Chains A and B, each alone.
Chain A
Amino acid sequence: DAKTTQPTSMDCAEGRAANLPCNHSTISGNEYVYWYRQIHSQGPQYIIHGLKNNETNEMASLIITEDRKSSTLILPHATLRDTAVYYCIVRVAGSNTGKLIFGQGTTLQVKP
């Protein structure tokens, strides 16, 4: 699985959009980008994933660059409850494995 690089920490004002970047320059053609988050003292929670098209669900939007070497997770209207560590992971979908390689993630602090 390709390695990802994320900023260590970011701040965001409550109600504003939070844009979390991720670099995955060695991503392979069959690897998807996944985002999970971990709120303090809880298990990680799946947010969204995508291959090359932009994706949106009830939690967030995922923007993947055309060359697929980087992506951005967007929380459109951040709330205090979005304060968490956000992990960007690349892996082969449908690979029949529950193995995820977590990096250090980005600690997002949403401030009032």
Chain B
Amino acid sequence: KAGVTQTPRYLIKTRGQQVTLSCSPISGHRSVSWYQQTPGQGLQFLFEYFSETQRNKGNFPGRFSGRQFSNSRSEMNVSTLELGDSALYLCASGQNQYITGELFFGEGSRLTVL
């Protein structure tokens, strides 16, 4: 069973640009959550999508957005990049009921903003 796949793994952007990151969840999982990890703030929840609808949202500015497609694949977008957006962006997939509460994380997309 394939795990959570995130692309690209590494990318470099400059301030003011925008970036799109992709996440393919484990087959059969319909929930996708996104997290940002920085040395200063640690792991922070960005948002969660289930059945193409945003179900939860963290405390991030509107520059951070996401969407989910009918095949459960998800993308997140960051517009007008700032230096502070440099981070590891992690995607996690889970089953609907979270019976076990287990999330499966991908390897992440490491974004560097210059």
Contacts and interface: CB of A to CB of B under 8 A. Distances in A.
Interface of A: 32, 34, 41-46, 49, 87, 91, 93-105
Nearest to A49: B101
Interface residues of B, number: 31
Interface stretch (B11-19, B76-84, B90-98): B90-98
A94 B4 CA distance: 21
Interface of chain B: mostly helix, strand, loop or mixed: strand
B49 to A, nearest CB: 9
Given A43-B4, A103-B42, A104-B42, A98 B103 contact: yes
Interface of B: 4, 31-33, 35, 42-45, 48, 50, 55-56, 58, 90, 92-94, 96-108
Nearest to B48: A98
B103 A46 contact: yes
A42 B107 contact: yes
B40 to A, nearest CB: 11
B43 A44 contact: yes
B68 to A, nearest CB: 12
B108 A34 contact: no
B93 to A, nearest CB: 8
